[in-house]
């Protein structure tokens, strides 16, 4: 597993996901940012299962909470649940064709949205406008590209390190 | 897409995931409850904030680069025009300021005659808004000054238009300010025309404040100006909060509710002013509670600062 997944790529994709949470985008795309952090976590849960996957997701989610200023623990919980589900259905998800995988990612993010909305309703925040509601669709559309990008980077690394 | 060579999934792996999940859920729940109730020490959040500061700086880079490129590449004519406009505006402001200064001096003299000790001087500190999009569910901005520069939790944030919000969290070189329009924010206000005291609460949208629970008999109408009343001591009195846009009955038909357009430029502008707390005028607003001890009774001007806090004065 360690030969397949370079640590720097793992960390870099998560860091990009964190930064992308708060990068300012022009107004029409503002609410339509894909949750790259979630997508990265899904990718790594799919491609390199390991013992610490969920703990890592939780820790990164905690950082995401501080970065985007949400209730401390909210994103941590969401990311941990997300990675748990991926690990549970990993055998099926891995052998889906890409479009089917995207649909599954959309469903995972829909579950994530429901979790987020329920946490925030319990915490006393109101329902959001339509922007965040589209998150599963945005994630579904972004998944193939993010998947192919990470896959290409990973494969290139493996080829370079190959021969062993 | 699918690569051979990675280990085959083990059945026990899926089952083994349940325990860590439960641990994660419990830990998150504890954290969320603690954070929501405000039990969490601000130092914890501050420490993590300092750790993720680079992320914010990094996220603000593209926009900063864009602005730089915009300035560097825009045509000279445009820049020259802008300079002329700004210069004219500056002249106008200078004239107004000169007049205001005269009025302020006169005011000071009159106050001295009356024996009052009120002091309307205002110490402010400029802070830049770090250009990041925080969680869209809440109305907040990130500022680039922190505890190292003397920023404290509770400081009022204003801009040229009026009240913007207050500082809610401080790390070493950054702070988070809650805007007036956040759904969890409310500010004590006063109608300029009639002196009626009210509360303005945020709605979660950046162009509207709500003023609920106005008595039916109250004299309030569209176009009225609201300013901070200074009650509660958190906000200095007299800053513009907004203009009443519409007044109508609320759901119970027993009270009126007013919609207010904020005076500050909540979604524009890149710089704000932080009001130093020592300068809050204690002469305005309700009497000081009996158990309050003035740390420096002989100090001129309102010393409403926390004991031991020495603010620089202008």
| pLDDT tens profile A77-95 | 999 999 999 988 888 888 8
Contact (Cβ atoms closer than 8 angstroms) between residue A85 and residue A96: no
Answer yes or no: do B48 and A77 touch at CB < 8 A.
no
Q: Is the pLDDT of residue B7 over 60?
A: no
- The rounded distance, in Å, linking the Cα atoms of A85 and B93 is 61
Answer yes or no: do B137 and A132 touch at CB < 8 A.
yes
- Residues in chain B within 8 Å Cβ distance of A155: 3
User: Other CB atoms closer than 10 Å to residue B293's CB: what's the count?
Assistant: 8
- Residues in chain B within 8 Å Cβ distance of A25: 133
Answer yes or no: do B17 and A132 touch at CB < 8 A.
no
Q: Please, what is the average pLDDT of chain B?
A: 77
> Which pLDDT tens digit goes with each residue over B213-240?
898 888 888 999 999 888 887 787 888 8
Q: What is the pLDDT of residue B302?
A: 39
Cβ of residue B64 closer than 8 Å to a chain A Cβ: no
> Which pLDDT tens digit goes with each residue over A34-86?
889 999 999 988 887 776 788 889 999 988 988 888 888 889 999 999 999 99
Q: What is the pLDDT of residue B4?
A: 47
Higher pLDDT, A163 or A151: A151
- Residues in chain B within 8 Å Cβ distance of A31: 136
Q: What is the pLDDT of residue B136?
A: 67
- The rounded distance, in Å, linking the Cα atoms of A105 and A110 is 8
Q: What is the pLDDT of residue B312?
A: 41
Higher pLDDT, B127 or B285: B127
Tokens of B39: 């039990």
Q: Is the pLDDT of residue A162 over 50?
A: yes
User: Other CB atoms closer than 10 Å to residue B6's CB: what's the count?
Assistant: 15
- Residues in chain A within 8 Å Cβ distance of B204: 126
Answer yes or no: do B24 and A58 touch at CB < 8 A.
yes
Q: Is the pLDDT of residue B306 over 50?
A: no
What's B132's DSSP letter? -
Nearest to A134, CA basis, from A32, A28, A15, A19 = A32
Q: What is the mean pLDDT of residues B150-176?
A: 86
- The rounded distance, in Å, linking the Cα atoms of B171 and B145 is 9
- The rounded distance, in Å, linking the Cα atoms of B133 and B113 is 51
Contact (Cβ atoms closer than 8 angstroms) between residue A35 and residue A109: yes
Q: Is the pLDDT of residue B74 over 80?
A: no
- The rounded distance, in Å, linking the Cα atoms of A150 and A145 is 9
- The rounded distance, in Å, linking the Cα atoms of B154 and B241 is 17
Cross-chain CB nearest to A63 (options B6, B27, B52): B52
Q: What is the pLDDT of residue B301?
A: 40
Answer yes or no: do B14 and A90 touch at CB < 8 A.
yes
Q: What is the pLDDT of residue B88?
A: 92
Bridge partners (DSSP) of residue A158 are none
Q: What is the mean pLDDT of residues A16-28?
A: 82
Q: Which pTM was predicted?
A: 0.64
Answer yes or no: do A66 and B49 touch at CB < 8 A.
yes
Which pLDDT band, with edges at 50, 70 and 90, does B285 fall under?
Answer: very low
- The rounded distance, in Å, linking the Cα atoms of B131 and A72 is 22
Percent of chain A with pLDDT over 90: 24
């Amino acid at each position: 597993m360690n030969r397949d997944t370079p640590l720097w790529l793992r960390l870099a994709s998560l860091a990009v996901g964190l930064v992308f949470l708060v990068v300012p985008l022009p107004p029409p795309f503002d609410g339509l940012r894909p949750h790259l952090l979630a997508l990265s976590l899904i990718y790594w849960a799919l491609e390199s299962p390991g013992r610490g996957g969920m703990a890592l997701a939780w820790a990164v989610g905690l950082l995401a909470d501080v970065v985007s200023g949400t209730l401390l623990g909210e994103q941590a919980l969401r990311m941990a649940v997300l990675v748990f589900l991926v690990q549970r259905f990993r055998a099926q998800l891995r052998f889906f064709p890409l479009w089917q995988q995207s649909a599954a990612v959309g469903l995972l993010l829909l579950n994530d949205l429901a979790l987020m909305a329920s946490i925030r309703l319990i915490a006393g925040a109101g329902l959001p406008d339509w922007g965040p509601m589209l998150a599963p669709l945005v994630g579904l559309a972004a998944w193939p590209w993010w998947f192919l990008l990470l896959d290409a980077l990973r494969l290139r690394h493996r080829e370079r390190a190959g021969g062993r | 897409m699918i690569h051979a060579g990675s280990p085959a999934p083990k059945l026990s792996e899926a089952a083994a995931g349940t325990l860590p999940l439960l641990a994660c859920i419990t830990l998150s729940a504890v954290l969320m409850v603690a954070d929501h109730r405000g039990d969490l020490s601000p130092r914890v959040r501050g420490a993590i904030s300092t750790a993720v500061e680079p992320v914010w700086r990094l996220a603000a880079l593209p926009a900063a680069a864009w602005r730089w490129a915009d300035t560097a590449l825009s045509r000279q004519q445009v820049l020259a025009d802008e300079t002329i406009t700004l210069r004219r505006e500056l002249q106008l402001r200078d004239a107004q300021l000169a007049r205001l200064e005269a009025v302020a001096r006169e005011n000071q003299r009159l106050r001295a005659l009356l024996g009052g000790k009120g002091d309307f001087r205002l110490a402010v500190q400029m802070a830049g808004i770090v250009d990041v999009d925080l969680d869209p569910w809440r109305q907040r901005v990130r500022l680039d000054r922190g505890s190292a520069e003397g920023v404290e939790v509770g400081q009022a944030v204003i801009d040229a238009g009026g009240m913007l919000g207050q500082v809610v969290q401080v790390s070493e070189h950054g702070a988070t300010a809650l805007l007036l329009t956040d759904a969890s924010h409310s500010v004590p206000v006063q109608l300029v025309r009639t002196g009626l005291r009210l509360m303005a609460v945020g709605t979660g949208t950046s162009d509207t404040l709500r003023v609920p629970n106005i008595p039916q008999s109250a004299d309030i109408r569209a176009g009225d100006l609201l300013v901070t009343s200074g009650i509660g001591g958190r906000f200095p009195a007299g800053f513009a909060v907004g203009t009443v846009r519409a007044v109508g009955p609320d759901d119970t038909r027993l009270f009126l509710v007013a919609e207010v357009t904020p005076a500050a430029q909540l979604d524009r502008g890149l710089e704000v002013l932080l009001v130093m707390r020592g300068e809050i005028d204690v002469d305005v607003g309700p009497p000081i509670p009996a158990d309050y001890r003035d740390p420096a009774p002989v100090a001129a001007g309102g010393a409403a600062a926390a004991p031991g806090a020495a603010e620089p004065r202008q």
